[in-house]
Copies of this chain bind each other. A is one copy, B any other.
Amino acid sequence: VSGLHAFLVNGLPAEPGLAMSRGLHYGDGVFRTLLKHEGRVLDVDLQLRKLLDDAAALQLDTSDSTATLLAAEIVKASAGITTAVIKILLVRGGQGRGYAPQTDRADRLVFVYAAPRYPECHWTEGIDTARSEIAIAAQPALAGIKHLNRLEQVLAYRSAPSGLQEIMLCDDKGQAICGGRSNLFCVANGLLMTPDLARSGVRGVMRDKVLACAAQLNIGVRIEAMPWSRVEQADEVFVTNSLIGIWPVRSIGARCWSAPGPVTTALTQALAHPRLT
């Protein structure tokens, strides 16, 4: 590797390989997490489109063939595995030191993991959560993008009370933003609301899918800055991501709901996402 004289891991010489990656040194890349269920990778086109949009937002140079290559690599990597979590990273190439990129070319990393399993009651009775003491920073230049700088989420989980299924995050102005690994939705007076993500947060594929389901069901939608009080006062609360689909929220700290509520139930049925039980 150009310019590298030596590399030790825990005192032992090691192959540099991905240790030189700008992903490790700076988090200079984007990712998506996909579910393969009973032999079928869910929402692969939508996932790849959002991955490439995020890459473009970081000025990563993804050629036209990137989506085609990734789709083939997902098939290749998960061949013979019927149910799995597939994580894709696009990481800016180049191996030199320094923040300034030497190239905008992106390397493709495809991981296939065993799928998690969750108790059925997470879907049928809802999950317990709390508001994190970590406030998520406002950074319009990175907001919405599923990038590799995720220390805030790590700290939020690291400091979360045990026994919870999710931790809720607000920004430094007390606006609700998201769950630690999920997007956040509320229902009030029959209207579906989810935070605007212009300053913080990640635009998940499942967030888009739920918004599309709401449109199909003629449920009114508002995407806007959402003070935390509106979450606590909501009639229904739920979180979404590409693995779980929709999890109703039955508690945030001391505030409890009878979950799932009717709008959450209607959206869950319309979404028809598999349950990893």
Which A positions have Cβ atoms within 8 angstroms of B? Answer: 3-11, 14-15, 17-19, 21-28, 31, 58-59, 69, 72-73, 76-78, 81, 84-85, 87, 89, 91-92, 97-101, 107-114, 116, 134-135, 137-142, 147-158, 160, 172, 180-181
Whether A109 and B19, one on each chain, are in contact in the complex, defined by CB atoms closer than 8 angstroms, is yes
Contacting residue for A107 out of B4, B10, B23, CB 8 A: B10
Contacts of A156 on B, CB cut-off 8 Å? Answer: 99
- Count this chain's copies in the assembly: 2
The residue of chain B having its C-beta at the shortest distance from the C-beta of A17 within the complex is B17
Whether A152 and B141, one on each chain, are in contact in the complex, defined by CB atoms closer than 8 angstroms, is yes
Contacting residue for A78 out of B5, B14, B147, CB 8 A: B5
Whether B155 and A141, one on each chain, are in contact in the complex, defined by CB atoms closer than 8 angstroms, is yes
Given contacts A8-B77, A113-B97, contact A151 B149 (CB under 8 A): yes
The residue of chain B having its C-beta at the shortest distance from the C-beta of A5 within the complex is B112
The residue of chain B having its C-beta at the shortest distance from the C-beta of A19 within the complex is B18
Whether B151 and A112, one on each chain, are in contact in the complex, defined by CB atoms closer than 8 angstroms, is no
The residue of chain B having its C-beta at the shortest distance from the C-beta of A28 within the complex is B154
Contacts of A9 on B, CB cut-off 8 Å? Answer: 18, 107-109
Whether A7 and B112, one on each chain, are in contact in the complex, defined by CB atoms closer than 8 angstroms, is yes
Contacts of A69 on B, CB cut-off 8 Å? Answer: 11
Contacts of A111 on B, CB cut-off 8 Å? Answer: 4, 6-7, 19
